[in-house]
Amino acid sequence: MTKILFVCHGNICRSPMAEFIMKKLVRENGGQFHIESRATSTEELDNPVYPPARRKLSEHGISCDGKFAQRITRKDYESFDYVICMDSRNLRNIAYVIGEDDEGKISRLMDYTDTPGDVADPWYTDDFETTYRDILRGCEGLLKKLTNQ
């Protein structure tokens, strides 16, 4: 079973959106995956998914009930096959928590699309629709890579 961990700054917007979008894609397309999400910071620990992110997922028939922010640990790095960050800042911040990416597990979500780059943080942009679309494209690209479709 392939284990995927999505990571963003607070684990209340982008990474939980990616977690639950990917879970939906896997349900629809099949495959053996374990999918979770975490934060690089401690700012939002134990908080639920941010209401606008929850609403955007709900608009697409996706529930994120029961999700609360957690911070990534070194043990997470060791346990997961892929650690997928939402932006370059997450890549830098994750190094403070886990150290070097000795196993080459860490990448950005949009690197699995034809437009590599960062997923904009809707906490600042307030554009949850664009963030949703970017995350969906990234998850579709990642799933395609992992299932060799």
Task: Return the active site residues.
Answer: 8, 14, 121
Q: What are residue 35's DSSP bridge partners?
A: 4
Residue 106 near residue 81 (C-beta atoms within 8 A): no
User: Identity (one letter) of the amino acid at 70?
Assistant: Q
For residue 78, the tally of other CB atoms under 10 A from its CB is 10
Q: Which contiguous run of DSSP H or E holds residue 142?
A: helix 128-147
User: Identity (one letter) of the amino acid at 22?
Assistant: M
Tokens 């664009």 correspond to 130
